[in-house]
């Protein structure tokens, strides 16, 4: 086998091995963050106080999506609001929420 092919295979092996190690490291960091979030997170009771209307990322779909806005109180008693990163289309059999 010519030396060029052996060297090329070696270089490709090292590149793919480095990419695999990088992705493994990122996956382990993501798992670690999730474990910390579950361990250190706090559950609170909240109430849906409104919805924010968002446009669909699909240009051919003109129907709006709605993201809930949740109000809750933290341990110190301060009121906070959180808007979900997940926006969905409401069930057509249920009246649509009024956007804020």
The DSSP-derived string for 34-46 is HHHHHHH-----E
Is there a contact between 69 and 48 (Cβ–Cβ < 8 Å)?
yes
Structure-token pair, residue 16: 């793919």
Summarised one tens digit per residue, pLDDT across range 68-86 is: 999 998 888 899 998 988 8
| pLDDT (0 to 100) of residue 72 | 92
Of residues 74, 93, 72, the one with CA closest to residue 83: 72
Specify the pLDDT at position 35.
95
Q: What is the pLDDT of residues 90-100, one digit of tens each?
A: 766 666 656 65
pLDDT of residue 96: 60
Tokens of 9: 């295979």
The pLDDT of residue 14: 97
- Which residues, given as ranges, of the chain have pLDDT below 70? 91-100
CA dist., res. 9 & res. 15, Å (int): 10
Query: Please, is 33 exposed, middle or buried when counting C-beta atoms within 10 Å of its C-beta (0-12, 13-18, 19+)?
Result: exposed
State the pLDDT at residue 30: 97
């Amino acid at each position: 086998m010519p030396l060029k092919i052996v060297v090329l295979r070696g270089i490709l092996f090292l590149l793919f091995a480095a990419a695999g190690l990088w992705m493994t490291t990122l996956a382990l960091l993501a798992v670690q963050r999730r474990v910390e979030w579950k361990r250190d997170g706090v559950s609170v009771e909240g109430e849906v106080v409104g919805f924010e209307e968002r446009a669909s990322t699909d240009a051919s779909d003109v129907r709006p999506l709605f993201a809930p806005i949740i109000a809750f109180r933290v341990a110190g008693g301060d009121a906070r609001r959180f808007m979900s990163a997940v926006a969905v289309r409401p069930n057509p059999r249920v009246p649509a929420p009024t956007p804020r």
